[in-house]
Amino acid sequence: MPPPQKPEKIIIDFKKGVIQPYTRKKEVRLSELKEYFSNIEEVEKILSKGKDPLIYEYYEYIHSEATGNLNLGLTIIYPGKIGNEYYMTKGHFHEKDAAEFYFCMKGKGMLLMQNKDGEVSVVELEPGSLGYVPPGWGHRTINTGRNRFVFFFAYPSDAGHNYMIVKEKGFIKIVTEKDKAPKVVDNPRYYKT
């Protein structure tokens, strides 16, 4: 039996966009996202110039998987585009049927979701709004604004993460800029197996 856990207080710093305490910080740069943006030529062009921009970073406070816990965290997606596709997270499915929520603190963006039947859903997020990811839905977040898009998330500690489905097939939809506004369009690289 694991030792009983103690109640805790977590500080969410709205100004800095950080949580305290956290157990893990991850920075994701363009070079790690080669397979994820639809315009691969543009990715290669930027990298070949010796540039490797920071696309997003997240802080996670991870609890034991064994005891019905929640993992808590905060993600910052920077503003920008690769070609006409906005900066975004990789996106993933949870290994288990585990829900998650995203509470937007700063900026604006979209929570793009799809289930295994190919149904797609988009929730627009602005400060004060919360996007709910039901169990079984793959999820990715996209910064469609001009400033940092910052959100707080929580999900069951034993959820597990599957990135392979998205890495290999992409999402059914992508979010691009057209006439200076975000548009959700079909992903030309998405294929069904």
Task: By CB under 6 A, name the binding residues for ligand PAN.
Answer: 58, 73, 75, 89-92, 100, 139, 141, 153, 155, 161
Instruction: Pick out residues in 107-166 that bind Zn ion (CB under 5 A).
Output: none
The distance of closest approach from Cβ of residue 161 to Zn ion in the complex, given in angstroms and rounded to an integer, is: 6
Binding status of residue 100 toward Zn ion by CB under 5 A: yes
Which is nearer to ligand PAN, 51 or 161 (by Cβ)? 161
Binding partner at 173 among ligand PAN, Zn ion, none, C-beta below 5 to 8 Å by kind: none
Q: How far apart are CA 68 and CA 2, in angstroms?
A: 12
Cα–Cα distance for residue pair 110/78, rounded to 1 Å: 13
Task: Output the smallest distance, CB 51 to ligand PAN, in A.
Answer: 20
- In angstroms, the Cα distances linking 158 to 94, 99, 145 are 9, 11, 32
Q: Which is nearer to Zn ion, 90 or 169 (CB)?
A: 90
The residues with which 27 forms a beta bridge, in sequence order, are 57
Report the C-alpha gap between 106 and 114 in whole angstroms. 24
Residue with smaller CB distance to ligand PAN, 4 or 55: 55
Ranked by CB distance to ligand PAN, the top (closest) residue is 89
CB closer to Zn ion, 85 vs 100? 100
Binding partner selected for residue 91 from ligand PAN, Zn ion, none, CB under the kind-specific 5 to 8 Å limit = ligand PAN
Of all residues in the shown chain, the one whose CB is closest to Zn ion is: 100
- Identify whether the C-beta of residue 97 lies closer than 8 Å to the C-beta of residue 136: yes
* Cβ atoms within 10 Å, residue 180: 5
Work out the number of other CB atoms within 10 angstroms of the CB of residue 141: 25
Interactions with Zn ion, residue window 56-75 (CB under 5 A)? none
Q: How far is CA 21 from CA 24, 66, 114, in A?
A: 9, 20, 32
Which residues bind to Zn ion, rule: CB under 5 A?
100
